[in-house]
A and B are shown apart, each in its own frame.
Chain A
């Protein structure tokens, strides 16, 4: 998707939400959410292509597909958490944004446990 269109969209949405913030602040938040969703759809096909490329690459090299899946789950979760906490920050609710960030970090930690376990077992086999 053309990055210039996304930049222009972002600027117009910022101007619109500044205008609306004077009269109806609640609509300004809605506009930024809508813009975030549209920008994500603009880049989602790029993400799909990278996922397919990585999948083929790992299959050809022989690395376990599990890592790539976990990697993309982590990317997805961090993107969504960033999306939500940025919206909360825009609306002025920084406390909610921090809570979402903490929840995201805990989920990421939980997701990376299998990799940690494999790493430690590999190290212990080498040292023993």
Chain B
């Protein structure tokens, strides 16, 4: 039960939120949007790998 994935995602989320505030307050809204997108893509890649594992396990477990 590797729960470190959850805490990684939470860390990335909070980091992106802080960076976003920082950049917005300093007037660089475009970079703020770019960092949010970058954080989202990083987390999405982690999730896609896990979902791939999930579908493979479901296939083998339920005999598809």
B41 to chain A, nearest CB (A): 11
Q: How many B residues are at the interface, by size bracket?
A: 20 to 34
Given contacts A27-B16, A44-B61, contact A38 B40 (CB under 8 A): no
> Which secondary structure dominates where chain B touches chain A?
helix
> Which secondary structure dominates where chain A touches chain B?
helix
In the bound complex, residues from chain B placing their C-beta under 8 Å from that of A99 are: none
A24 CA to B20 CA in the complex, in Å? 10
A115 to chain B, nearest CB (A): 16
A 10-47 to B, binary, CB cutoff 8 A, 1 in contact else 0: 00110010011001101110110111011011101001
24 of the cross-chain contacts (CB-CB < 8 Å) are A16-B10, A19-B10, A24-B13, A24-B16, A27-B13, A27-B40, A30-B43, A34-B9, A34-B46, A35-B6, A38-B2, A38-B5, A38-B6, A40-B57, A41-B1, A41-B57, A47-B62, A48-B61, A51-B63, A73-B63, A76-B62, A77-B62, A79-B58, A80-B55
B residues with a Cβ closer than 8 A to A are: 1-3, 5-6, 9-10, 12-14, 16-17, 20, 36, 39-40, 43-44, 46-47, 50-51, 53-55, 57-58, 61-64
A residues with a Cβ closer than 8 A to B are: 1, 5, 9, 12-13, 16, 19-20, 23-24, 26-28, 30-31, 33-35, 37-38, 40-42, 44, 47-48, 51, 69, 72-73, 75-77, 79-80
